[in-house]
Chains A and B, each alone.
Chain A
Amino acid sequence: MEKIIKDAVVRFSGDSGDGMQLTGTLFSDAGALSGHGISTFPDYPSEIRAPQGTVAGVSGFQVHLGSRKMATPGDKCDALVAMNPAALKANTRWLKRDSTIIVDADAFTDKEFRKAGFVDNDPIGELGLTDYNIVMCHITTMTRDALDGLGLDNKSAARCKNMFALGICLYLYNIPLDHTLSYISRKFKGAMVEANSRVLNAGYNFAANNHLFANTYDVPKATLEKGTYRTINGNQATAWGLIAAAEKSGRPLFCGSYPITPATVILEELAKRRDLGVKTVQAEDEIAGICTAIGAAFAGNFAVTTTSGPGLSLKSEAMGLAVMTELPLVIVDVQRGGPSTGLPTKTEQSDLLQALYGRNGEAPMVVVAASTPSDCFHYAFWAGKIAMERMTPVLLLTDGFIANGSEPWRVPSLGDYPSIAPPIVSELKDEIYFCYDRDPEAFARTWAIPGTTGLEHRIGGLEKDKRIGCVSHDPANHAEMTRLRAEKVARVADFLPVQELLGDAEGDLLVVGWGGTRGHLQTAVEEMCARGKRVSLCHFNWINPLPRGVEEIFGRFKRIVVCELNMGQFAGYLRMNLPQFTYEQCNKVQGLPFTVDELCKCFESYV
């Protein structure tokens, strides 16, 4: 029987080597192509291949499929694929009461139970899942059968079993196979094309013919704005937004970086784009990453460096150099769990204060935060525009959740984006070049690119004379330069849109968030409104400077609760900047995104 539902959450889980990230990606792509709203959440360990069969080695990928634009990957799942007992154990907490669990019966052996740390031979009982709808399928055996006659060795054959599970899920949610089959024919080679196609079909047909499920589900297509769509993750969108800013400015893009989880994909994406003239230097360390970028900025390129928390710590001194030399530079920090090495593959928002203040001296910097996988494009573009037009380093914060998460994105046209006009000087106007003379409004200094006749000048990390830019130890000059650097950053607010408010302009509770929590906060606020509560959302992307209009918004609500994935860094920042308001806090530091459910519980306590 076919049942119509408005959304479904499907979670694929298995060993790190089982190909669950690919399976989840293919499922979400197929869903997106058949017109659904999608939001994804890859959840994987930092080890590449932890011991096979253990809970530590479980890799998961959650997909939220719906009949509208999906704001979150969903709290808990309607269907779980568990390729082994460890995967079942690791994901029990993500199950809804009435969820369907698809397990590979071939992996349910005594040996696998031991590896997953079960004490007896009844994992279902031990996990308290007896009442759940558990579908035991001999996935490994049926995969092998489907491959009969192809002459594949056991290892290659076993590698196809994820396609069997995918076939089952595509059937369960009534999603056509054609997209996945076309992917297989493009990405696999030789016998593996036939092998994976066969197994995918076998899984689909098995589910169809054996009446495994009481129902199949039909999620109606989402009504989306007309246009060209693609699936994009946050890191890719960040990389492309930077390339877009380079194109609009006419400055070549230079990226100096060092690989670090979860930011590496930005460097990888940029390295692919030699075709668009992008230069990447994989530096010897984080410091060299930013220093090559600063050199490139001095030499006239649009320079960026990309990193995550520990790398940001290493870059601190050089960020101060970029502040002092007033060169355009974008620093991208894809936040992860900290401190120290922390939780490399998990998400957190705990680098905020480091981004704002983690430098010696008075070293103000523009700080921007993206909030969804696709809007990383938008904010990376704007980070570039501000950096180049205002001659300042800009720090763009994303996080592991939006960096790895993906969603369908209506592709913009670059024509809809504004121009970028850096203050480049091409000839000497006075008797000497005053490299620290400023624009009277924006306070940006000019950019004289080495190679330009007559504008030879010398800059560096020592305090600058406020006009000539030569070294100055004059006390009054230092005070004035300190003020000018701060004022330059503050004046970026003139350039920004006023703060946005979602929901009614007044009410009982104002939910405040920033960055990558937006999808969860928005969904939770909508849920509260559906319950008849007077709750609105004020979500921040512009962190320093804060946009105009914040005070007016805050003043119209009885209570304000600041929600963030740290111990209260943005709440503290607001207390410092807008001390006239009282801020409640809702914090989580588990390396995981909020769930809508826990947010609603928190909001209920304030209204």
Chain B
Amino acid sequence: MSNCIYSAADFRSDQEVKWCPGCGDHAVLSSMQNALAQIASEDGVPREKFAVVSGIGCSSRFPYYVRTYGFHGIHGRAAAIATGVKVANPELNVWVATGDGDALAIGGNHFIHAVRRNVDMSMVLFNNEIYGLTKGQYSPTTKIGKVTKTSPFGTVEKPFKPGELAIGAGGTFFARSVDAEVKLTQELLVAAARHRGMAVVETLVNCVIFNDKTHAAYAGDKATRVENTIVLRHGERMVFGSAGDRGLALDGQRLRVVDSDSPDVLVHDAHSPNPMVHFLLAGMSWPEFPVALGIIRQVDAPTYDAEVARQVEEVRSAATLCDVDSLLHSGSVWEV
């Protein structure tokens, strides 16, 4: 345990940040540096115990800007690389920075399996619904019909919602924030780090160059967000709107927007093992619903890395072999 007090500046590397002016990633980086300082100070995790791993894409430049151990991987493979880091060295506080193309297209397989295994690490998924670094092609989260360079007549494929995918893969932690909500993002990143297991934090970020205002209708400015998003907090009623006049209720197996004074308004239970409501919340789309922010799901489950370590210790303590020489002489051997 270290008793140092860290500030965000302690987590700034000497590298110049090269994202476009106005890019939503700047805000997330700032939230992250604050979150790391908070975790380091409050939880006694010294800076050298952090490792940030990324794939390829604008957001995957992230590790270069954070003054910790960092690994900039190859396209789509961040979750797999980070799994290796964590299993090899479980003492590390492991982070993955990835984007919608990196995590959900080329890296979709690694994403679902890291989530399924519940590797104890935190993933920040920058969702700008576009390929930025390759200059504007549609991604697996691009809204249907969107005209991009590779869909000049509009996309004809239904997008993923990262939350549905994470929860569908058996995820134990899923939260969502918006780039501009720096405090909320920081809070969620700290919660993700403290969660034992794979924590996915989706941040809705704006790409000013290739997909400007893609989240603007529900997340554009403060007033819009108050009207069109709902910040979920465990144990609190699900109400939203500037006047707090609307709420969410279950109507059979689907959600419905109701008056906030309705007795049917749900109380958020992020810890419910049953993922049904979490799945519905993660899937809510504007304009029919507010977009859900906050921690949508957080449940306890054994983590992969701890189980591997436990198994090694268990087998080791009962082992008859102690080294390679004893292995070579085990079983059927004979003397000449």
Interface of A with B (CB < 8 Å)? 29, 32-33, 35, 224-231, 240, 243-244, 247, 252, 254, 256, 273-279, 281, 283-285, 287-288, 291-301, 303, 317-318, 320-321, 325, 410-415, 449-462, 470-471
The reply on B63 being an interface residue by CB < 8 A is yes
Contacting residues, chain A, for B240 (C-beta < 8 A): none
Interface string of B313-336 (1 = CB under 8 A from A): 011101111011101110111111
Whether B325 contacts A291 by the Cβ 8 Å rule is: no
Whether A303 contacts B332 by the Cβ 8 Å rule is: no
Q: Which of A231, A279, A457, A461 contacts B70 (CB 8 A)?
A: A457
B16 to chain A, nearest CB (A): 10
The reply on B161 being an interface residue by CB < 8 A is no
Whether B51 contacts A450 by the Cβ 8 Å rule is: yes
CA distance A454 to B49 in the complex (A): 11
Contacting residues, chain B, for A470 (C-beta < 8 A): 15, 64
| Given A281-B87, A295-B80; A456-B72 close (CB under 8 Å) | no
Known: A230-B328, A275-B315, A281-B83. 4 other contacts (CB 8 A): A230-B332, A284-B109, A411-B328, A450-B92
The reply on B110 being an interface residue by CB < 8 A is yes
Contacting residues, chain B, for A457 (C-beta < 8 A): 69-70
A69 to chain B, nearest CB (A): 11
CA distance A12 to B104 in the complex (A): 50
Whether A256 contacts B73 by the Cβ 8 Å rule is: no
Contacting residues, chain A, for B63 (C-beta < 8 A): 458, 460
Interface string of B68-98 (1 = CB under 8 A from A): 1111111001001111111111011000000
- List residues 102-133 of chain B with CB under 8 A from any CB of chain A: 109-110, 113
CA distance A273 to B92 in the complex (A): 24
CA distance A283 to B85 in the complex (A): 14
Interface of B with A (CB < 8 Å)? 13, 15, 46-49, 51, 53-54, 56, 63-64, 67-74, 77, 80-89, 91-92, 109-110, 113, 308, 311-312, 314-316, 318-321, 323-325, 327-329, 331-336
| Given A244-B324, A274-B312; A301-B72 close (CB under 8 Å) | no
| Given A229-B336, A456-B48, A461-B74; A254-B88 close (CB under 8 Å) | yes
CA distance A460 to B320 in the complex (A): 41
Contacting residues, chain B, for A297 (C-beta < 8 A): 84, 88
Whether B89 contacts A229 by the Cβ 8 Å rule is: no
Whether A411 contacts B333 by the Cβ 8 Å rule is: yes
Main secondary structure of the interface of A (DSSP, over half): mixed
Q: Which of B71, B87, B315, B325 contacts A274 (CB 8 A)?
A: B315
Whether A458 contacts B13 by the Cβ 8 Å rule is: yes
| Given A274-B312, A292-B87, A296-B87; A458-B72 close (CB under 8 Å) | yes
CA distance A12 to B108 in the complex (A): 46
Contacting residues, chain B, for A455 (C-beta < 8 A): 48
Q: Which 8 A-B pairs have the closest CB atoms?
A: A460-B72, A295-B84, A458-B70, A292-B84, A275-B319, A296-B88, A291-B80, A274-B315
* CB-CB nearest in chain A for B48: A453
Whether B88 contacts A300 by the Cβ 8 Å rule is: yes
CA distance A470 to B72 in the complex (A): 11
Contacting residues, chain A, for B15 (C-beta < 8 A): 470-471
Contacting residues, chain A, for B331 (C-beta < 8 A): 230
Contacting residues, chain B, for A292 (C-beta < 8 A): 80-81, 83-84, 87
Contacting residues, chain B, for A321 (C-beta < 8 A): 73-74
Q: Which of B46, B85, B315, B320 contacts A453 (CB 8 A)?
A: B46
Contacting residues, chain A, for B48 (C-beta < 8 A): 450-456
Contacting residues, chain A, for B71 (C-beta < 8 A): 295, 298, 325, 458-460
Whether B327 contacts A284 by the Cβ 8 Å rule is: no
Contacting residues, chain B, for A243 (C-beta < 8 A): 324, 327
Most chain B beta-carbon neighbours within 10 Å: one of A227, A240, A284 = A284
* CB-CB nearest in chain B for A244: B324
Whether A451 contacts B13 by the Cβ 8 Å rule is: no
Contacting residues, chain B, for A244 (C-beta < 8 A): 324
A-B pairs with beta carbons under 8 Å apart, 13 shown: A224-B336, A230-B331, A243-B324, A274-B315, A275-B319, A275-B321, A276-B321, A276-B323, A279-B88, A287-B77, A293-B84, A295-B83, A295-B85
CA distance A401 to B73 in the complex (A): 35
Contacting residues, chain A, for B110 (C-beta < 8 A): 284, 287-288, 291
Contacting residues, chain A, for B314 (C-beta < 8 A): 274
Whether B328 contacts A274 by the Cβ 8 Å rule is: no
CA distance A292 to B86 in the complex (A): 9
A360 to chain B, nearest CB (A): 11
Contacting residues, chain A, for B323 (C-beta < 8 A): 247, 276, 414
CA distance A455 to B68 in the complex (A): 9
Whether A456 contacts B68 by the Cβ 8 Å rule is: yes
Most chain B beta-carbon neighbours within 10 Å: one of A279, A293, A295, A455 = A295
CA distance A287 to B110 in the complex (A): 9
A149 to chain B, nearest CB (A): 32
| Given A254-B88, A285-B109, A288-B80; A228-B333 close (CB under 8 Å) | yes
B315 to chain A, nearest CB (A): 4
Whether A461 contacts B88 by the Cβ 8 Å rule is: no
A101 to chain B, nearest CB (A): 30
Whether B84 contacts A277 by the Cβ 8 Å rule is: no
B39 to chain A, nearest CB (A): 15
Contacting residues, chain B, for A293 (C-beta < 8 A): 84
CA distance A417 to B266 in the complex (A): 67
* CB-CB nearest in chain A for B77: A291
Whether A300 contacts B308 by the Cβ 8 Å rule is: no
CA distance A414 to B320 in the complex (A): 18
